[in-house]
Amino acid sequence: MIAASAIIHPEARIDEGVDIDAYTIIGAQVEILKGTHIGPYTFIKGPTRIGKDNQIFQYCSIGEDPQDKKFHGEPESVLEIGNGNTIREFCSINRGTATGGGITRVGDDNWIMAYVHIAHDCSVGSHTIFANNATLAGHVQIEDYVILGGFTGVHQFCRLGRHSFTAIASVVVKDIPPYLIVSGNVAKPSGLNKEGLKRHNFSADTIKLLRQAYKIVYREGLVLKEALQRLAPLADDCEEVAYFANFIAGSGRGIVR
């Protein structure tokens, strides 16, 4: 159902089975797939593609121009949102820029609470939770199952590894390796996300090996090169430790430590 007061550009593509509430504005080059509900007073600007079964609540700004002074209306500026996401009130998600690859991406089954901002050229995986007022600067990469506490701020170009967790009001200025909890301004490691790993059915043996890996990197006073060398035997026996080590080795900004 589409409310009579909604304004939809004739070039927008809206599937059957999409609900659009009152006073929402849908611009040109917007595609919305079936099962998605758009709340009232929402603005969606293209080029933007929104997948199936998303719930977008009132007063959101989706697909607006990047907040980047280098952006001058280039056509390489797209937003892609996957399936099954919940996007609560007053969220803003901007399109990409040509210098950043041109695309902002949000995956599937994410829970994005009120007042969250996702800036240009960000890549958000699937099954994440962003609590209220979490903010991503441009070019941030968020992997699957990441949880951001309320009022978390993430600096541009940072990477957050899967199953990592930020406490409330964390300020993230470096990469967060997978499976970690961080907190503070600026964010520092607070331990392994053991409870989260248990909830996602990581085996006791895997969690034990990840705890050993965490201690090597964060508790033994080693420089990073030495820590990575110490991780190598554990990585041979555990895929998750190998991923942990490879993420650290591939960090461009450096990791929280």
Point out the residues that are catalytic. Answer: 120-121, 138
State how far the Cα of 9 lies from the Cα of 131, in Å rounded to an integer.
32
Within 10 angstroms of residue 180's Cβ, the number of other Cβ atoms is 25
User: Cβ distance 189 to 211 under 8 Å?
Assistant: no
Q: Looking at the DSSP assignment, which residues form a beta bridge with residue 112?
A: 87, 130
State how far the Cα of 115 lies from the Cα of 73, in Å rounded to an integer.
25
The 25-26 sheet, strands edge to edge? 7-8, 25-26, 43-44, 61-64, 92-94, 117-118, 135-136, 153-154, 171-172
State how far the Cα of 59 lies from the Cα of 6, in Å rounded to an integer.
13
Residues 6+ apart with CB under 8 A from 43: 24, 25, 27, 60, 61, 62, 64
- The 3 state secondary structure assigned to 184-240 is CECCEEEEECHHHHHHCCCCHHHHHHHHHHHHHHHCCCCCHHHHHHHHHHHHHHCHH
